[in-house]
Amino acid sequence: MPLAAAALAAVPELPGRLTATSDPERVPPDPASAEAAAIAVRGFTTDLFRSLSSAAAGANVVCAPYSVALALAMTRAGAGSTTADEMDAVLHAPHPRPVALDSGLNTVDQALMGRYRDGDGIKQPKMVTANALWTRLGLNLDPAFRDTLAGYYGAAPHPVDFRGATDATRQEINTWVSDRTNAKIPELLQSGSVSPHTTLILTNTTYLRAAWAYPFSAPATAAAPFTRDDGRVVEVPMMRGPFDPMGYLEGDGWRAVDVPFAGGGLAMAIVLPARDDLAAVEARLDEAWLGALLRGFRFETVQLRLPRWTFRLPAGLGAVLSGLGMPTAFSSRADFTGMSDEPSLRIDDVAHETFIAVDEKGTEAAAASAVIVRPPSIPRGPDFFADRPFLYIIHDRSSGVPLFIGRVHDPLVTAPA
């Protein structure tokens, strides 16, 4: 359901990474590494979204590449040889590898948590990330791998009984994820995704709740036509905002606004094609285009009309990531000897699920990723009427790091058919 005013006014306290007694000590941030990590996340964001959107033509799409990147980077910490090289390429890892990526993501994550972890979701966004490593009982972890995950990702190992209590362990991990996403991702790991042969699972959760800097007036919301890519017109609840200052940018065949959340640090960039051809805009998506978009906004006084929408997308990313250039990690040739002396480890799958709800008060978004490892009269400015499919990116303005990215094809669709 869309956010209710009462719900947005009372943001629950979410658990942190781990309990106070077991929270690993983080490596101090290195500000010099942050920009390279932001570029890497933008590059991975555009690659992953293009792959998912091309496979779901004419449908809503949402994902959180930042969450996937953190889970994959933790996995990369235990990779070697060709496996490591392919993962570095997919993650757009900066040099020197892998230290620059570990350090950069650690710096970005700590900066985001410093700004938003204690937010109330009203005057300031609330954003919480959490990482964890779930290991088979008795698994001998490589000390360097364990230290990297603790120091750079705040992830401590949780020994669990994959062999003797397979489904109970799956439910334990799902509960951990649900607790850290305000119950928006209740079952990341589906039945059958964990087996007695599972050796370890690396998880990330990312949760965001934020009020608009300029809330829409609920009484002004009314049914309005929205034209889908296939030409079908559907009536959707269209929110109408007053004239407010926000980022605005025009490009070749598209216009965009950057709708700020309260506090000014986070925003949702919305890209609207000029000629009812969102696919043409998506085809241009790469790191350079996204970086120029997120850094190129100039303030205009805009009247915004935006539909309400709620959407959830669970996805198995194994085939997508393999197609992006890291097939070895999923094969019998995988090299994860940096994790453990356990022989023949490979990634079985990467589970990812994202939820987003947008209404007059603000936005709630949550994502979780799991890498499963086992053996083999105000001055008039532009109007911005989002009455056809559009692209959106929730991003941190300071770092230029995209957190969530999606496409609205039909605001009335809440989940894949």
Provide the pLDDT confidence category of residue 379 given band limits of 50, 70 and 90.
Answer: low
Model pLDDT, residue 14: 54
> What phi, psi does 304 have (nearest 5°)?
-105, 135
Cβ within 8 Å of residue 203, ≥6 positions away = 71, 130, 131, 132, 133, 134, 173, 176, 177, 188, 368, 369, 370, 371
In this structure, what DSSP letter does residue 217 have? P
Tell me the three state secondary structure of residue 152. Answer: helix
Give residue 380's pLDDT band: very low, low, confident or very high (50, 70, 90).
low
Share of the chain above pLDDT 70, in %: 94
Report how far residue 304's alpha carbon sits from residue 242's, in angstroms, rounded to the nearest whole number. 7
Report residue 9's pLDDT band, with 50, 70 and 90 as the boundaries: very low
Q: Map out the domains of the chain with their CATH numbers.
A: 5-211+311-374 (3.30.497.10), 218-306+378-408 (2.30.39.10)
Mean pLDDT throughout 226-249?
93
DSSP type of residue 414: -
**Is residue 127 within 8 Å of 113, Cβ to Cβ?**
yes
Per-residue pLDDT, 417: 76
Q: Residue 3: what pLDDT?
A: 43
CA–CA dist 241, 263 (Å, integer)? 18
pLDDT tier, 13 (very low <50, low <70, confident <90, very high otherwise): low
Strand-pair category, 298-307 with 309-316: unpaired
C-alpha span between 178 and 197 (Å, rounded)? 24
Cα separation, 137 vs 369, in Å, equals 22
393 — pLDDT class (breaks 50, 70, 90) = very high
In the three-class reduction of DSSP (H, G, I as helix; E, B as strand; rest coil), residue 241 is classed as strand
Segment 148-175 shows an average pLDDT of 97
Q: What is the pLDDT of residue 69?
A: 98
Task: Evaluate if residue 271 carries a pLDDT over 60.
Answer: yes
And the tokens for 182?
């305000």
* 84-118 per-position pLDDT tens digit: 999 999 999 999 999 999 999 999 999 999 999 99
